[in-house]
Amino acid sequence: MGSDTFDTRSVIARQAIEWFVRNRDGISTAERAAFRGWLMCSPQHVEEYLKTAAMSRNLQEAIDGYRVPPEALAEQSSSTASSVISSTGVEGGSVVWLRDRRMVVDPPGGAEPSPAPAGLWKRLTRPAAAVAAVLAVAALALLAASILAGVAYYERDGERFGLPKEFVTGHAEQRSWLLPDGTSLNLNSDSDVVVHYNGHERLVEMRRGQALFRVAHEAARRFRVSAGETGVIAVGTQFDVWRKPTSTLVTVVEGNVAVFTGEAPPSTAAATLPSQAVAVGAGQQLQVEDHSKPSSPLGANVQLTVAWVQHQIAFDQRPLGDVAAEFNRYGSVPIVVDSERLRALEISGIFSEYDTESFVAFISRLDHVSIERSPHAIRVVDQLKSR
């Protein structure tokens, strides 16, 4: 499967989840018409929506609400005769009908039903177990009728969040997204975050890697990042969070954030910041070591920290070991620095993230340094160590 096909499927899957949640929350007549239009665009839209519905904890409740017993649905799904199945509790006149092995959706007001895309029934009813047919038929009714009650929630820290969305980048890959609330998310190489929403908080769980956020202000919902033991709360600001193997680095570009460790306080208007939180303002940086409390922030050249957004690695008097580790986030052959002296050697420069060769040429000109290459590594050798 090509990357274009994968990207298209991913977009449709995200759209299906968004429609699923919006339907359960309750949508207007205009939105319902837009949903039907989206559904009829492609069989892939139906299939992805079915997958979302099948994951819902309320699917069995939905099946129980139909007038036709599941056994009868299974029998009808395998029969060549025309089938007519209607759902209960439908608002706005939306009803799913299965006629002559085609799916049609009755619009409100008694207008003529619109046929589903050709071949859809064939794609959805390939030989399978009877229970799969029952789930498919039930989910089809859910999909267009918008009759599910309640919302599928994700439980975290005692709070109820909507369906989570995961954003991932691979090695040497960078991507950006505009989140539903208007916040922009940029992910660096080898990063993984999960975004959760509820009525009064937007939570980003950083599993690994580095992210730059430009937060859209919302008075009713705070914006919080959870990176292991470290938490960050921000409102209307731009900041970078880098979750390293043993620490988390927070850099503020604009506005200010509160950095803390341990449990987050309830996300209410009266208690949005932890009592022990450390304020970090624009142009400041705070590194929190694992199993430690945050200390005082330090001034930093934030443009160097976020240079990765411009596909650059910029460093000013930083240890060679740290800079080599950054290049290893993008290169296919790792750079290995073989002595403590060289790893601690401070260097400065600006390079393209993917131009490992220029960086290696640069460090080869340092005093008492030589380079050894193999198919599996580029070794930076300390000549003083071998004397």
- Going along the chain from its start, the domains and CATH numbers come out as 3-145 (no CATH), 173-300 (2.60.120.1440), 311-382 (3.55.50.30)
Predicted structure pTM score: 0.60
Q: What is the pLDDT of residue 160?
A: 59
Chain-centroid distance, C-alpha 131? 32
Q: What is the pLDDT of residue 148?
A: 31
Which residue(s) pair with 243 in the sheet?
Answer: 209, 248
Q: What is the pLDDT of residue 227?
A: 96
Q: What is the pLDDT of residue 112?
A: 45
CA-CA distance, 7 to 13, in Å (whole number)?
10
Q: Give pLDDT tens digits along the chain (387 positions).
A: 444 444 566 678 778 888 877 776 666 777 777 777 777 666 677 777 777 776 654 444 444 443 344 344 344 434 432 332 233 233 333 333 333 333 333 344 444 444 444 443 333 344 434 444 444 444 444 443 332 323 345 555 566 566 688 999 999 999 999 888 889 999 999 999 999 887 778 999 999 999 999 999 888 888 999 999 999 999 779 999 999 999 999 999 999 999 999 888 877 655 567 778 999 999 999 999 999 999 999 999 999 999 999 999 999 999 999 999 999 999 999 999 989 999 999 999 999 999 999 999 999 999 999 999 999 999 999 998 766
Could you tell me which of 359, 48, 7 has the C-alpha nearest to residue 175? 7
Q: Which residues of 120-157 are buried (b: 16+ CB within 10 A; e: fewer)?
A: bbeebeeeeeeebbbbbbbbbbbbbbbbbeebbeeebe
Q: What is the pLDDT of residue 130?
A: 42
* Cβ-contact 32, 101 below 8 angstroms: no
